[in-house]
Structure 1
Amino acid sequence: MNLFQRCFTLVLCLIPLSTSFVIAQDVSYLEGTIIDFATNQSIPGANVYWKHSPTEGVTTSQEGIFKLPTTKLPAVLIVSFIGYEQVEREVTSKDLARGLKIYLREDEMDLQEVTVSSTRPDQNVKSLDMGKSVVPIETIKNIPALFGEVDILRSLQLLPGVQTAGEGTTGLFVRGGSADQNLLQIDGAPIYNPSHFFGFFSVFNPDAIHGVDFYKGNIPANYGGRISSLIDISLKEGNFDKIKGEGGIGTISSRLTVDGPLFSDKSSFVISARRTYADLFLRLSSDPNINNNDLYFYDLSGKTVFKLGEKDKLTVSSYYGSDFLGLSGQFGFGWSNWMGAATWNRNISDRLFFDLNAYSSRYNYKVSFDDADNGFEWGNALGETGFKATWNYHVSDQTKINWGSHLQFYHFASIDLEPAPGSAIQPITSNPFNGLQLNPFVSVNHEFSDKVGLEAGLRWSLYQQHGRGVAYTFEDNIPSPEAVITDSLTFNTFEKMRGYHGLEPRLALRYLLREDLSLKIAANRAFQYLQVASNSSAGLPLDRWILAGTYIPPIRGDQFSVGIFKNFKNDTWEVSLEGYYKDMKNLIDLRQGASVLFTDRVETEILVGDGYAYGAEFLLRKNVGKTTGWLSYAYSRTWRKIEGISFDRWYNPRFDRPHDLNLVLNHQFDKQWSANLTFVYTTGQAVTFPAGSYVVDSQRLPLYTGERNADRFPDYHRMDASVTWKNVDKGKKWRGSWNFSIYNLYGRKNPFSYQFTEIFNDEINFTPTSTEPITSRRPGTVMTYLFTFLPSLTYNFEF
């Protein structure tokens, strides 16, 4: 029995033993749950304390549960949370024998807020979190958006330390990491391509989302698989009392979400749908070159919740999204995401909690070309199936232990190129890639005193690449396009091909200098066993995912960070300054002129090397008042060094953008009118411009020196604005609001791409004719920009 099998057997044996723990209930504590009256969902981060002792309270957990030491009864209990009416309730000794359920109503007099955290006001100072943001959906919905389409990933780009690949894209580059180094998951299930419309919109419909937890620093030990960030998205749970709905009609798409009780008040459902109608507008054109095209995306999501008893809850959720681009029936390009997840939550005792999550995720993409001589259809699919068991044990108010295990199975299907009948294209079939990964983990959170807190965790990732598959042996054991294949080995299903493992320690320490000032440090190691091989940094649907194997080892990422956090004026203002250094091993990049889509020996097109990144991030945020928002600035650099690229010297990837400034403002005039403004400034992305040109067969071609990304686009900056009018009369069954937004308010022509070509007759798009021949030609540079002044109008509604 090998090491992997022994560890897997040990973890399976520990699971039934762990569930047998029985912790006696401590009657010196008052327990309960805080619930939103309108949605019937639990409220994390609510403040709970005795009226006569307001400084000795607690906050509710992610499940809305609190546990407060008792006092002399009867006594008055206070529950408060930002945006809700404060509740005062008298508690007697009879309440100790049963769990309390306290419902909070939204405060009608509160002004709309823009926050990046839904937890207690001083959570940024007193918690152990570094580089984490809990982003409320209401915050995201207030930010002016491209085409009026509210977008989660584009909103995260406004946080310090998060870069973008270019105009309009939703790809995230976090603290010097590439887009494939971010784990995006919905209810625990990963999404491999989180974009619609070639990256202009993300796949997450904001009406279907309950919350977004964004980690870019100290990622807890119960998460892993990526070295840069985690974007943990939870779908909204349905209302248990009545049918409700919300939606919107926008410039290019519409959406609808309906939720309510399913069979009884013990179960609920949510179903959400969104579709663009760009293809309907194309049909209105009289030009056959336009009206014969297809261009659309849509997505569907749903979630059901079953309360199995006082201690058990089962949730089942699913998502499906699809995109398609078709040009005159000759060219077709489409992709889709599907995921399904089920989670069982059980309160084993008042201190021990168990969660079991099972999921499956699949990503498909294909290209077709209808041509009599060169027609073909090319397709690929990849997927992941997993099981994750987690136990949370609250030893005391000062100590919490979290442990469990995560099992993952990867299946990357073979790439198939099927020629059309009569086509001269030759068929191609590649071999599949499979992987199995086991991740036991444990972490301890302990408060040594009011000033000192520590979180220590350890994750052990054990990975195997296994069959069915084929492994090639190359001359001198160095894969390259010119290398001679000396042997090949065929592996059967689940037969081990190559294995890796690594320990991933996590550590965070907080020292409270004053009640409103703290110093934090964190260290984090992670391994990543899959990467993307791509010619573009923007994250295209055709990017090919690569599993770790014989010639491609896993990435190892080590991050060290330190930060200081301060609050002002009773937590009205927050300010933080964080610095980080990240070391990365075994990064991949493509050889010059590489092609990875149609090869079965992808390792011959890839080079492996190292990288590092460092930076400093500043955030100033105002949480309450008529005017709210934040100002962020980040200085960051990232470098790569890979033998065979840029003369074996250090070079910047395209997403290296040293300066990044973001301003987000929201002003609430009254209950009906509000206005929002965002401003973005970043250094231009790193690119490779030609050093000259040369002529071949009367055509002028650009000449490159081999040095990668030594040039830059001009600096990028943009201002967006929006105004919202709401019908706040909650006595009506139907409530609507209008949002008018302007993307790129002052019409900045930010470059999307540059083309180095020949200019004829001093016209960019000149086409010679018999009456107007070519009279002059010169080398030139053509800049393409996507958007200038772009207004949009959206009608949102609730019922």
Structure 2
Amino acid sequence: MSNITKYIIGVVLFLGATSIPLYAQNDVSPKINPGRISGSTRTLISVLEKESGWTISYSNRMCMESNIRLKDENKSLIEHLQDVFARCPFLYVIKDNKVIIRPLNPSEYSYTVSGFIYDDLTSETLPSANIYNRANGAGTVSNNFGYYSITLPAGYNEISASYVGFTGKTKSFELGSDTVINFRLSASIMLRQIDVKGEIPGENISTTNMGAIIIPADEIRQSPALLGETDLVKNIQMLPGVQGGSEGFSGLYVRGGGPDQNLILLDDVPVYNIGHLLGFFSIFNADAVKHVSVHKGSFPARYGGRLSSVVDIRMLEGNKDKVKGNLNLGLLSSGAALDGPVIKDKSSFALSFRRTYLDLIAGLVQRGNDARTNYYFYDLNAKYNHALNDRNKLYLNVYWGRDKYMTSYNFQTVMGDTGSPANQTSINDENNAGWGNFVGGLRWNFLITPKLFSNLTATYSDYRFFIGVQRSKLE
């Protein structure tokens, strides 16, 4: 007999004499009925060992309780152990007449809960909403698109969602797999008095978001208005560390930086000019704004290219339940806004337009004058979003704004020699200047996994300044 044959026979005999462990896929434990009993974890394990004749070995990391009750049921030993350790998921190994159990590691029995936070009235997503699990202290916040993701242990869980100015909600559920839970919060004006008490933790702070402030659209609309014009930039100027430069103008000087050192984003698209009327008003129509994030320092990694600050402005996405609109009348300009569903609960649109009527007023005042000056500006915001499915969403947003300044001069001269008829010459000079932005963006949100959220954006931003001169002569 060759050496190889002897080696193979030896391995076979060794494996035949060795017991093979059986894992949770093969429950070969005996069926028993210990009756309706109650007691501590150790007491019940002793009873189960006596009834089954098997030995039960367990880790000291298992959940030990003082009072557990078992039902009068005839089932396997493993199923009885699952009732004993109902609050502590475990893995087991069966070897001969012995059961060895150990608790699962958190990564082995934790699941992901994810979803979106909505305004119940408008169906707009709520960014930076708080999600909290009181049982283990885990928490997170929703991103700019209202999406959140949190990892929780298997079993019974409760999570609460809250947002400033809204009534919070709590949902309870049994967690046994990755789950999607959406919240719809209702606006609340009156807040009850609360007392906050606690102790300062001893450990160092591990994460910070220094200098970041979120301004909701409602706060912008309720701020003081100049000549009836609610201005987003003037609201930002009232924040600590921000200066407006000349009084009444829309420049931003953040912690000593210049206006050109600020990164201004409108739905992820950079905007290069933010002023109307030579900076007296900003280009952002409050009726089209959802919320504003101002970062005065410690910029997140996704921003770059500027030294002073980041102003991230998000436009309204539109009501997915019903069509609604509003009309604003001011001393210098008026505007209208309309939003609503295209396909209910699937796609929506939001439109807003604003225009000044300074040119109409100036035209009436300067009627009949040889020299006339005129000026007007307008803004158009449009946004459309469509949910392809629960994991894919498309957004299309457009902004178009222009300033137009015009002057015209009409001169008449009379020329002629003595004794000859006079010749009259009319010279008309027209000067005009204009500037403005056109920005657009196409964005695709894709939920790769409950823990991985992707955002792909194609952007276009154009700023133009033009000057025109025209002279006409009539004899």
In 2, the alpha carbon distance for the partners of 1:183 and 1:50 equals 36
In 1, the alpha carbon distance for the partners of 2:152 and 2:262 equals 43
Q: Choose from 416, 434, 440 the match for 1:340.
A: 440
Structure 1 match to 2:184: 103
Cα shift at 1:108? 4.8
Q: How does 1:618-637 map to 2 (within 5 A)?
A: none
Structure 1 match to 2:100: none
Work out whether 1:350 is the aligned partner of 2:428. Answer: no
In 1, the alpha carbon distance for the partners of 2:109 and 2:468 equals 65
Cα shift at 1:49? 3.0
Q: Which has the higher contact order (CA 8 A, sep 6+)?
A: 1
**Distance change (3 Å), C-alpha of 1:221 and 1:279:** same
Work out whether 1:267 is the aligned partner of 2:347. Answer: yes
In 2, the alpha carbon distance for the partners of 1:29 and 1:323 equals 50
Cα shift at 1:182? 1.4
Q: Choose from 290, 298, 313 the match for 1:233.
A: 313
1:469-488 per-residue CA deviation (whole Å, 9 max, x = no partner) reads: xxxxxxxxxxxxxxxxxxxx
Q: Choose from 248, 273, 278 the match for 2:328.
A: 248
In 2, the alpha carbon distance for the partners of 1:309 and 1:25 equals 29
Match of 1:241, as an amino acid? D
In 2, the alpha carbon distance for the partners of 1:353 and 1:76 equals 23
In 2, the alpha carbon distance for the partners of 1:158 and 1:185 equals 20
Q: How does 1:72-87 map to 2 (within 5 A)?
A: 73-87=155-169
1:295 alignment partner, SS class: strand
1:524-571 per-residue CA deviation (whole Å, 9 max, x = no partner) reads: xxxxxxxxxxxxxxxxxxxxxxxxxxxxxxxxxxxxxxxxxxxxxxxx
Q: How does 1:683-762 map to 2 (within 5 A)?
A: none
Cα shift at 1:55? 4.1
Structure 1 match to 2:113: 30
1:239-282 per-residue CA deviation (whole Å, 9 max, x = no partner) reads: 11111113311111111111111234311111110011111212
Structure 1 match to 2:274: 194
In 2, the alpha carbon distance for the partners of 1:193 and 1:291 equals 30
1:426-470 per-residue CA deviation (whole Å, 9 max, x = no partner) reads: xxxxxxxxxxxxxxxxxxxxxxxxxxxxxxxxxxxxxxxxxxxxx
Cα shift at 1:191? 1.5
In 1, the alpha carbon distance for the partners of 2:171 and 2:239 equals 39
With structure 1 as the length reference, what TM-score do the two structures score? 0.40
**Distance change (3 Å), C-alpha of 1:72 and 1:218:** closer
Q: How does 1:626-705 map to 2 (within 5 A)?
A: none
Does the Cα contact within 8 Å between 1:132 and 1:215 map onto a contact in 2?
A: yes
Does the Cα contact within 8 Å between 2:327 and 2:336 map onto a contact in 1?
A: yes
**Distance change (3 Å), C-alpha of 1:332 and 1:69:** closer
Does the Cα contact within 8 Å between 1:25 and 1:350 map onto a contact in 2?
A: no
Does the Cα contact within 8 Å between 1:133 and 1:215 map onto a contact in 2?
A: yes
In 2, the alpha carbon distance for the partners of 1:281 and 1:187 equals 34
Match of 1:310, as an amino acid? D
1:370 alignment partner, SS class: strand
Structure with the higher strand share, 1 or 2:
1
**Distance change (3 Å), C-alpha of 1:160 and 1:126:** farther
In 1, the alpha carbon distance for the partners of 2:166 and 2:433 equals 47
Q: Choose from 242, 245, 250 the match for 1:170.
A: 250
Structure 1 match to 2:149: 67
**Distance change (3 Å), C-alpha of 1:192 and 1:72:** closer
**Distance change (3 Å), C-alpha of 1:89 and 1:354:** closer
1:124-176 per-residue CA deviation (whole Å, 9 max, x = no partner) reads: x9851122222222222222122121111121111222222312211112222
In 1, the alpha carbon distance for the partners of 2:359 and 2:247 equals 23
Work out whether 1:48 is the aligned partner of 2:134. Answer: no
In 2, the alpha carbon distance for the partners of 1:159 and 1:108 equals 23
Does the Cα contact within 8 Å between 1:289 and 1:328 map onto a contact in 2?
A: no
**Distance change (3 Å), C-alpha of 1:303 and 1:98:** same
Work out whether 1:91 is the aligned partner of 2:191. Answer: no
Q: Choose from 359, 362, 374 the match for 1:294.
A: 374
1:288 alignment partner, SS class: coil
Q: How does 1:200-219 map to 2 (within 5 A)?
A: 200-219=280-299
Structure 2 match to 1:679: none
**Distance change (3 Å), C-alpha of 1:39 and 1:72:** same
1:180 alignment partner, SS class: helix
1:492-517 per-residue CA deviation (whole Å, 9 max, x = no partner) reads: xxxxxxxxxxxxxxxxxxxxxxxxxx
In 1, the alpha carbon distance for the partners of 2:370 and 2:393 equals 51
2:361 alignment partner, SS class: helix
Cα shift at 1:86? 2.3
In 1, the alpha carbon distance for the partners of 2:252 and 2:443 equals 28
Does the Cα contact within 8 Å between 2:375 and 2:405 map onto a contact in 1?
A: yes
Work out whether 1:326 is the aligned partner of 2:406. Answer: yes
**Distance change (3 Å), C-alpha of 1:50 and 1:225:** closer
In 2, the alpha carbon distance for the partners of 1:176 and 1:274 equals 32
Structure with the higher helix share, 1 or 2:
2
Cα shift at 1:29? 3.4
1:207 alignment partner, SS class: helix
Structure 2 match to 1:580: none
**Distance change (3 Å), C-alpha of 1:255 and 1:127:** farther
In 2, the alpha carbon distance for the partners of 1:146 and 1:359 equals 32
Does the Cα contact within 8 Å between 1:246 and 1:256 map onto a contact in 2?
A: yes
In 1, the alpha carbon distance for the partners of 2:299 and 2:399 equals 25
Structure 2 match to 1:149: 229
Structure 1 residues not aligned, in runs of 5+:
1-23, 112-124, 374-799
In 2, the alpha carbon distance for the partners of 1:42 and 1:286 equals 49
In 2, the alpha carbon distance for the partners of 1:209 and 1:271 equals 11
2:293 alignment partner, SS class: strand
Greater Rg by CA: 2
**Distance change (3 Å), C-alpha of 1:226 and 1:108:** closer
Does the Cα contact within 8 Å between 1:285 and 1:291 map onto a contact in 2?
A: no
In 1, the alpha carbon distance for the partners of 2:312 and 2:108 equals 32
Identity score, percent: 36
Does the Cα contact within 8 Å between 1:216 and 1:228 map onto a contact in 2?
A: yes
Q: How does 1:411-426 map to 2 (within 5 A)?
A: none
Q: How does 1:150-549 map to 2 (within 5 A)?
A: 150-285=230-365, 287-289=367-369, 292-328=372-408, 330-371=430-471
**Distance change (3 Å), C-alpha of 1:351 and 1:194:** same
Does the Cα contact within 8 Å between 1:25 and 1:349 map onto a contact in 2?
A: no
1:248 alignment partner, SS class: strand
Cα shift at 1:73? 4.0
In 2, the alpha carbon distance for the partners of 1:331 and 1:74 equals 73
2:278 alignment partner, SS class: helix
Q: CA RMSD in A?
A: 2.6
Structure 2 match to 1:115: none
2:460 alignment partner, SS class: strand
